[in-house]
């Protein structure tokens, strides 16, 4: 340091006691600039970071303060972490959040399962555009593979309704084995329906009686015939038409098994809505109680007419 070997006469503190000078450097807000002839100490590695170390620090995964490993380990496990101070402990709010999340997720879950069940039909549609000679490919593009497209579309839509009717992804507690059994059963029922329709078409072409109609969901139950829009329609399993029922197509344009499926899917949707209401009922009750208290206070302040209006 210049305190001992500096040769500049312009340094006003060169003759100070080392302890006093150290004290002044700590207390002075401005950094001391040494004289031109005074040797300056090299910065320590801990005080200066290289660009590489700064970049590594910025790219390190962030973890909350609750983690014991602040170096970024297990950052993926902390992505969904919510501190207790930010999490609402109200059971009603938690139930409402579960209902909203389940409602959003169920549609995607059913569609993914239906797509898996229709993998062969989707593969046939994909290969329709890519296989065959050039004449076949041109024909496929001109017709947009209408036959394969119709087969896949019907499979996807019908499998989705079978999954809904059987209660796929309907409960809040996920059970992988149960959901897989439902998915396989939906695929089985769909192919039973398609096989029956093929047998009926073959019987009509041969001029013979078609095989007897049985329910896909309840084979032991007999079918019944209803009068709808001036026409008679047969519904397997004795399923009654529920109130407020709106099928995707008029019943006369649906096959018997499609009519049964439409009714079953409709009833399953009603049961699902009841489950949603039961799960969210604590939240709905707390909201109604809070509204009643606000109305009571408003009535006491402004009178009954204005109080009910503002609340």
State whether 191 and 238 are in the same domain: no
Long-range CB contacts for residues 130-136, cutoff 8 Å, separation at least 24: none
State whether 230 and 170 are in the same domain: no
State whether 190 and 142 are in the same domain: yes
User: Residue 16: is it exposed, middle or buried by C-beta count within 10 angstroms (0-12/13-18/19+)?
Assistant: middle
Domain ranges, residue 151: 115-211
Q: What is the pLDDT of residue 120?
A: 93
> Does an H or E element contain 237, and which?
none
State whether 171 and 127 are in the same domain: yes
Q: Please report whether residue 132 resides in a domain.
A: yes
- Percent of the chain at pLDDT > 90 equals 30
Cβ neighbours of 270 (radius 10 Å): 12
Tokens 């059963």 identify what position? 185
Q: Please report whether residue 267 resides in a domain.
A: yes
Q: Please report whether residue 6 resides in a domain.
A: yes
C-beta of residue 187 within 8 angstroms of C-beta of residue 120: no
- Residue 286 or 163, more confident: 163
State whether 153 and 185 are in the same domain: yes
The per-residue pLDDT for range 270-283, each reduced to its tens digit, is: 888 887 677 666 65
Long-range CB contacts for residues 175-179, cutoff 8 Å, separation at least 24: 179/113
**Cα of 254 vs its chain's centroid, Å:** 32
The per-residue pLDDT for range 118-175, each reduced to its tens digit, is: 999 999 888 887 776 566 667 666 777 888 899 999 999 999 999 999 999 887 777 8
The per-residue pLDDT for range 204-224, each reduced to its tens digit, is: 999 999 999 999 999 999 888
Provide mean pLDDT across the span 233-242.
Answer: 88
State whether 170 and 203 are in the same domain: yes
**Of the residues 162, 184, 211, the one at which a domain ends:** 211
State whether 121 and 206 are in the same domain: yes
State whether 233 and 206 are in the same domain: no
Q: What is the pLDDT of residue 277?
A: 73
State whether 305 and 273 are in the same domain: yes
**Of the residues 211, 228, 246, the one at which a domain ends:** 211
The per-residue pLDDT for range 183-201, each reduced to its tens digit, is: 999 999 999 999 999 999 9
Q: Please report whether residue 41 resides in a domain.
A: no
Radius of gyration from C-alpha coordinates of the chain: 38
State whether 207 and 119 are in the same domain: yes
Domain count, the chain: 3
């Amino acid at each position: 340091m210049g305190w001992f070997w500096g040769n500049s006469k312009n340094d006003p503190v060169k003759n100070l006691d080392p302890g006093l000078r150290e004290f002044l450097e700590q207390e002075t807000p401005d950094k001391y600039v040494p004289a031109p002839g005074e040797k300056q100490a090299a910065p320590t590695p801990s005080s200066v970071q290289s660009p590489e170390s700064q970049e590594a620090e910025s790219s390190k995964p962030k973890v909350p303060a609750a983690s014991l490993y602040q170096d970024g380990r297990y950052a993926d496990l902390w992505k969904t972490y919510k501190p207790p101070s930010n999490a609402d402990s109200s059971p009603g709010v938690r139930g409402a959040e579960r209902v909203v999340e389940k409602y959003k997720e169920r549609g995607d879950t059913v569609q993914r399962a239906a797509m898996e069940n229709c993998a062969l039909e989707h593969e046939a549609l994909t290969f329709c555009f890519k296989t065959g000679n050039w004449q076949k490919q041109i024909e496929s593009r001109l017709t947009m593979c209408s036959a394969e497209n119709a087969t896949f579309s019907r499979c996807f839509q019908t499998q989705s309704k079978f999954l809904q009717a059987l209660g796929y992804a309907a409960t809040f507690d996920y059970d992988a084995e149960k959901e897989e059994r439902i998915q396989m059963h939906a695929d089985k029922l769909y192919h039973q329906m398609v096989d029956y329709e093929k047998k009926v078409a073959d019987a009509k072409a041969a001029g013979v009686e078609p095989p007897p109609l049985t329910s896909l969901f309840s084979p032991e139950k007999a079918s019944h015939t209803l009068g709808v829009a001036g026409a008679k329609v047969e519904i397997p399993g004795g399923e009654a038409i529920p109130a407020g029922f709106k099928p995707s197509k008029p019943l006369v344009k649906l096959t018997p098994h499609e009519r049964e499926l439409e009714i079953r899917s409709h009833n399953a949707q009603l049961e699902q809505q009841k489950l949603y209401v039961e799960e969210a009922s604590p939240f709905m009750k707390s909201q109604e109680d809070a509204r009643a208290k606000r109305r009571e206070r408003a009535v006491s302040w402004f009178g009954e007419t204005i109080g009910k209006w503002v609340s």
